[in-house]
Amino acid sequence: MPRLLALVLLAVSLAFASPIMVLAQDASPAASPMAGPCDAPELPPGTPTPMEVGTPAAAMEATPAEEEQAVAEAPAGTPADPTAAGEAEAALQNLFNCINGGDYLAAGALMTDSFIQNFLEIGTVYDVPATFEGVQPIEVRSLANAQSYADDRVSVDAVISGLFSGPGALGSARWSFVEDDGVYTLDNYEDIPLPEGVLPGATVIDVQMVDFAFALSEYTVPANTPVILRTTNNSGSGSGHVNVVLTYEEGTTAQGLIEGEVSLEEASTGFFGALYLEPGMSGDLAFESLQPGTYFLVCDVETDDGTPHYQLGMVSQVMVE
């Protein structure tokens, strides 16, 4: 996914700037009770890619616009048998154990080169630790719908908190693995809608992303209750869009962000989640509870000439009261 690296860096940068996220980081991944055994192949000695060539920071500094990758239609799977389902779930839990234990190089060893280079958009496995630095401890809420595929991959759908999400956020995704000599490595990740019943009683806001605006089914929700931003990319130009949820100081307006009076990153007081979607795709940003305040929905994908979509008007607000 072309936008993942930018979202990772945005999340991490705001984590250190936001008092809310600083409090959430008091329990480090290494100290987390969720960090179980991490079993990963041993890697030969290696070093990260030099910054001027391809580290995450260098990727953010690069100026040429890259052409959006075409999204291939996902192959259809069939329900996995109990053995394959158990192996897929164990593979995902093992990956999470490595991340929760702070062993990001081991986590990288549990990813295919294709995933590292095409999804994370970094050069080698030795660049993975820099990408994952600052992530939140992962807590698995549910594992379900294990699938097997004709190309011998297996997948499992997981609802989790933590990783690159903000406080109170839940993520729902399909994690696909390939097996080689008994080792399962992550080969694909796809955001999917939250399963029914995970957040009973949640207020569901339908969010349509178009060029260049957010259209919401409602703009006010009650505080301290579950909220789901059910997001669809309806771009007419074939553009990918991202729904990034941020907070700012009281008095900040959408127009201020659009006109550049307020810095998107530097002025933010909190990062709560992000969801990148190619045209026609749908996914959920889900929150177990939101405190009263104004939450901004922002798209910072850039046009071919380098203009961020939010500067073209792609900013909206949700009032939680």
pLDDT band at 168 (very low <50, low <70, confident <90, very high): confident
Give the type of residue at 99. I
Output the CATH code of domain 203-320: 2.60.40.420
Average pLDDT over residues 114-118: 93
pLDDT at 53: 47
CA angle 97, 99, 102 (to 5 degrees): 110
Q: How far apart are CA 35 and CA 102, in angstroms?
A: 9
Please determine, for residue 68, whether its predicted confidence score (pLDDT) is greater than 80.
no
Query: How much is the CA Rg of the chain, to the nearest whole Å?
Result: 19
* Kind of pairing between the strands at 203-210 and 183-191: unpaired
Query: Is 0.85 topped by the overall pTM?
Result: no
Three-state DSSP state, 217: coil
pLDDT at 55: 40
pLDDT at 113: 95
pLDDT band at 34 (very low <50, low <70, confident <90, very high): low
Domain ranges of the chain: 4-59+77-144+178-191, 203-320
